[in-house]
Amino acid sequence: MRENKYMLIYNELADKIQKGKIESNSMLPSEYILAEQFSTSRETIRKALNLLSQNGYIQKIKGKGSVVLDVKKFDFPVSGLVSFREIAESSGKAWRTNVHELVLVKPDETLCQHLKISGKEEVWQVIRSREVDQENIILDKDYIRRKFVPTITKDICEVSLYQYFEKNLGLVISFAKKEITVEEATEEDYKYLDMKEYNHVVVVRNQVYLDDTSLLQYTESRHRLDKFRFVDFARREHR
């Protein structure tokens, strides 16, 4: 019965944290107070708190208690190709895309290497920040070959580039090569993102290919550290 009790306590506290009824960065009541609230022993409370800690809901700080962690994160699939809009809409959160730049540029040497093109080919440069729950937490820098995308408007950038590519232009996006690093924040990050106390960002670089293996787009997506986690499904090969 005691094991069932601590699981009930864990589930109740985890549910309240997920729904925001217990706010992030707040302190949970002491083990003594929780034991009184749930009419159980401190040992049972301790088991529930240990499970909350193991699953990323709280951080136990020696001499202070248990601080509630921010669990409002997006899951970005590492192996999949999913647009921000698709992820945001499935999350049920309030979101918006802010377009800061939409210009045609001649690529520099670095961009030529990323897109595997010559310096004579024109490229769309799109810089957007992604706002979730009234916080700017992603900076997306897209470079798209004009050869495949003759025109782009600000309205398209605010809604979904992938939707426009696939439904309006008939392009078939097939696969991407990804690189994920953690880097120091730049002046651009501080300009467009609500960085708070953070001085590093997660950077995801994508080279996006069409079904005929033509390279369509190079993207640099810069994420505030605390709001995102990247997930993948891996299967072991048996030989």
Q: How far apart are CA 179 and CA 232, in angstroms?
A: 14
Q: What is the dihedral of CA 68, 70, 71, 77, to 10 degrees?
A: -150
Q: How far apart are CA 161 and CA 155, in angstroms?
A: 10
Among 12, 33, 68, the domain boundary falls at 68
Q: Which of 1, 16, 56, 46 is nearest to 226 (CA)?
A: 56
Same domain, 40 and 130: no
Same domain, 206 and 112: yes
How much of the chain exceeds pLDDT 90, in percent? 60
Listed range (108-122, 186-200, 220-234) with the worst mean pLDDT: 220-234
Residue 2 pLDDT exceeds 70: no
Listed range (35-44, 64-73, 118-127, 135-144) with the worst mean pLDDT: 64-73
Alpha-carbon torsion (78, 83, 84, 88), positive or negative: negative
* Average pLDDT across the chain, whole number: 87
Looking at residue 1, its pLDDT comes to: 41
**Buried-exposed string 6-41: b where 16+ CB fall within 10 A, e elsewhere:** beebbeebbeebeeeebeeeeebeebeebbeebebe
Same domain, 84 and 198: yes
Same domain, 19 and 38: yes
Range of the structural domain that residue 62 is part of: 2-68
The overall pTM is greater than 0.75: no
Please answer whether residues 1 and 7 qualify as being in contact, where contact means their C-beta atoms are separated by less than 8 angstroms.
no
Looking at residue 190, its pLDDT comes to: 97
Among 39, 68, 97, the domain boundary falls at 68
User: SS3 of 210, please?
Assistant: strand
Same domain, 187 and 223: yes
Q: Give domain status of residue 236, yes or no.
A: no
